[in-house]
Structure 1
Amino acid sequence: MRLFFDPRQMAHAPNQEMHNGAFVPHAETPARAQAMCSGVPATETPTDHTEAPILRVHDAGYIEFLKTAHARWAAAGRPGDVMGYVWPVVGRRALDLTRIDALAGRYSMDSSTPLTADSWTSAYWSTQCALSALDAVLSGDSAAVGLCRPPGHHAGTDYLGGYCFINHAAVAAQAARDAGIERVAILDIDYHHGNGTQDIFWDRGDVFYASVHADPATDFPFYWGHADETGEGEGAGATLNLPLPQGTGIEAFRAAQATALEAIARFDPGLLIVSFGADTYAGDPIANFAIQTPDYAVLASDIAAGGLPTVVLTEGGYAVDKLGENLASFLRGF
């Protein structure tokens, strides 16, 4: 199984975030990337696919914001990293906003995702890992892995959040469609719902999105991921949310994943993308499931049994000392 990683993914290193009403050390650290790499065999450097596949999914104005925001923030005399503090509560007015403080709110969903001088570079190369893993599978490999850090599934077409800037799974899914794959399925098994991925494909019937995650009634991102969210228009029925209560262990999680896999099999995709989050681990500091390290091999084995060409992309997982071992367990399951 080929794995892709670029050391430039470690450059993004915010100092702090807003969490539970206070500034705390940022949880999505470069050490996560080091831990992932320590748990797997040798990785390959990804191919540079340019910005073109990213712009197939993300708004051009948003991408320009990611590339220039920190320099504009510093030029405006703002200290530290870019962090929004004013958001439109209902809808967004179509105004020509130019002040960086306004743009920081316009293009974000939370205050837990500071944007540093290196965020664009790290997110860009994270996406290139996803696209290179897709290349491997399109070339005939049964499965390949993009070690994506920073993660991606909370990023929408024109917003960042949840530590995410570019939605790697969505970019890879669209690239697969552009390469001629008629139907693509995304299975998201991170602790938190992938609201950005859901938003991007909400009204499309060619990409099926299934997510097993913590109930948004109690957990981030709160406003997405409820069971009655199933898509609209051509995408009606192409979204499946399976929220679970805090404390969920392997039996209930595996059963929910089986439901998702059955729905994916009915969709009959030509490619499966797995957004794998190890923050379902029992010891994760910002999550509340009870999955144990050996359980990841079981979950992966169940996924692999479907026989679909599969691209695995990493999402969350903040118990850094166990992240490499948890990822290795998951990959062994294939």
Structure 2
Amino acid sequence: MQIIFSEDHRLHFPQGEIFGGEFVTPFERPSRMEYILRELKARKFTDIKPPSALDMGPVRKIHDADYLTFLETGWAEWTAAGYRGEMLAAGVPNRSLRQKCPKSIDGKVGYYTHSVETCITAGTWGAAKASAAVAQTAQKLVSGGAPHAFALCRPPGHHAHDDLFGGYCFLNNAAIAAEGFRASGARKVAILDVDVHHGNGTQDIFYQRNDVLFISLHGAPEYTYPYFLGYADEKGEGPGEGFNINYPIPPGGAYDVWGAALEDACTKIAAYKPDVLIVSLGVDTFKLDPISPLKLEHEDFTTYGGRIARLKLPTLIVMECGYAVEAIGINTVNVLEGFLNA
């Protein structure tokens, strides 16, 4: 399996986030990649290459132009305003507040985010572009005939909406890859999101489309971030009705429950008959992940990698999240080995 990875992920390393009322080192940190790379090399996954330059065309089809400008220029505006810390939203336009972008950079940060744990730094835009390039390069491998590829992306992407960042995500890598597949001739694309947190950004981007089937298995939003999307009654709108499927799983769910949901999801993917499958791979369903309510074991990741492989589809695996850093490599590579050995 060819793997695409960029060292430019290191450009993004916020020094803090708000968690449990404290300012802590972010769970999403560069060392996550070190554990994955170490395990990949230990198990002889050595075909690791850097990405090609990012083609912004598919990015612009997924993301709002003003939002992209904000990501590109926001840090310069922030520092020009005299702020010395990292960009962190002080307020967001929820519920009855006006949905109008302020001129102040302090207001813009709030306007363009949906959760205030996520900071922007001097290197965030560069890292986000590199992460999207990783996904895009791997997508082009599969579009070119490779049966599968692994995009080792950081920052992750599935919480990024067309015009909102949050949940450590800035550009939606899986959505950009899906747009790339469509531009390369795929009539139908399926996205299977197995991260413990609902892929709210991916859902929102494709909610009114029927050329991309989005399926997410995740912790029930009554108890689990992002809280405000991911319910089972969210099925898509207009042409997209029926092409959005959520499997919210209650806290404490182990593989018997999670695996049954995956089996049903795979049945629906097979019935959809996509030309290609994208897997948004978050391994934060692991029982020891610090921000996960679910209880998967190491061996469960091998098992579900094999189940996904039995769909026998051209498959792009895109790395999302996972924060039990000493286990993230084991669980990620277990999925890959399960997939390859099925």
TM bucket normalised to smaller: over 0.9
Deviations 1:253-302 (A, max 9, x none): 11101111111111110010000101001110111211111211100100
For the residues of structure 1 that align with 2:234 and 2:101, how far apart are their CA atoms? 32
For the residues of structure 1 that align with 2:59 and 2:221, how far apart are their CA atoms? 28
What is aligned with 2:4?
4
8 Å CA contact retained: 1:15, 1:26: yes
State the 1:25 CA deviation: 1.4
The one-letter amino acid paired with 1:282 is K
Unpaired runs of 5+ residues, structure 2, are none
State the 1:92 CA deviation: 6.9
The one-letter amino acid paired with 1:223 is F
8 Å CA contact retained: 2:54, 2:129: no
State the 1:90 CA deviation: 2.5
What is aligned with 1:39?
39
The TM-score, its normalising length taken from structure 2, stands at 0.95
Match 1:258 to one of 253, 256, 263: 263
For the residues of structure 2 that align with 1:97 and 1:290, how far apart are their CA atoms? 43
The one-letter amino acid paired with 1:33 is M
- Residue 102 of structure 1 aligns to a residue whose secondary structure is helix
8 Å CA contact retained: 1:281, 1:290: yes
Q: Does 1:56 align with 2:61?
A: yes
For the residues of structure 1 that align with 2:267 and 2:323, how far apart are their CA atoms? 29
What is aligned with 1:329?
334
State the 1:11 CA deviation: 1.6
Moved more, 232-241 or 254-263: 254-263
What is aligned with 1:124?
129
Deviations 1:289-332 (A, max 9, x none): 11111211100100000101000001110011111111111100
Q: Does 1:199 align with 2:204?
A: yes
Moved more, 166-175 or 83-92: 83-92
- Residue 278 of structure 1 aligns to a residue whose secondary structure is coil
- Residue 123 of structure 1 aligns to a residue whose secondary structure is helix
8 Å CA contact retained: 1:10, 1:33: no
State the 1:20 CA deviation: 2.8
For the residues of structure 1 that align with 2:151 and 2:75, how far apart are their CA atoms? 27
The one-letter amino acid paired with 2:18 is M
For the residues of structure 2 that align with 1:277 and 1:95, how far apart are their CA atoms? 33
The one-letter amino acid paired with 2:168 is Y
- Residue 333 of structure 1 aligns to a residue whose secondary structure is helix
Count of aligned residue pairs for this structure pair: 334
> Does the C-alpha gap of structure 1 residues 61 and 91 become closer, same or farther in structure 2, counting only changes over 3 Å?
farther
What is aligned with 2:15?
15
- Residue 284 of structure 2 aligns to a residue whose secondary structure is helix
Match 1:285 to one of 287, 290, 296: 290
The one-letter amino acid paired with 1:142 is P
- Residue 56 of structure 1 aligns to a residue whose secondary structure is helix
Deviations 1:92-141 (A, max 9, x none): 74646321011001110111110011111111111111111111111111
The one-letter amino acid paired with 1:105 is G
Moved more, 86-95 or 247-256: 86-95
What is aligned with 1:98?
103
For the residues of structure 2 that align with 1:150 and 1:25, how far apart are their CA atoms? 15
**What does 1:294-333 align with in structure 2 at a 5 Å threshold?**
294-333=299-338
For the residues of structure 1 that align with 2:76 and 2:216, how far apart are their CA atoms? 36
State the 1:50 CA deviation: 2.7
For the residues of structure 1 that align with 2:8 and 2:274, how far apart are their CA atoms? 33
8 Å CA contact retained: 2:101, 2:108: no
State the 1:251 CA deviation: 1.5
Unpaired runs of 5+ residues, structure 1, are none
What is aligned with 1:113?
118
8 Å CA contact retained: 1:186, 1:210: yes
What is aligned with 1:67?
72
Deviations 1:53-83 (A, max 9, x none): 2111001111111111112111111121101
8 Å CA contact retained: 1:18, 1:24: yes
The one-letter amino acid paired with 1:19 is F
Q: Does 1:216 align with 2:221?
A: yes
- Residue 49 of structure 2 aligns to a residue whose secondary structure is coil
8 Å CA contact retained: 2:115, 2:167: yes
What is aligned with 2:30?
30
State the 1:145 CA deviation: 0.5
What is aligned with 2:249?
244
- Over the matched positions of the two proteins, sequence identity in percent amounts to 40
Q: CA RMSD in A?
A: 1.2
Match 2:233 to one of 212, 225, 228: 228
The TM-score, its normalising length taken from structure 1, stands at 0.97
For the residues of structure 2 that align with 1:316 and 1:39, how far apart are their CA atoms? 16
**What does 1:72-87 align with in structure 2 at a 5 Å threshold?**
72-87=77-92
> Does the C-alpha gap of structure 1 residues 325 and 104 become closer, same or farther in structure 2, counting only changes over 3 Å?
same
For the residues of structure 2 that align with 1:140 and 1:128, how far apart are their CA atoms? 19
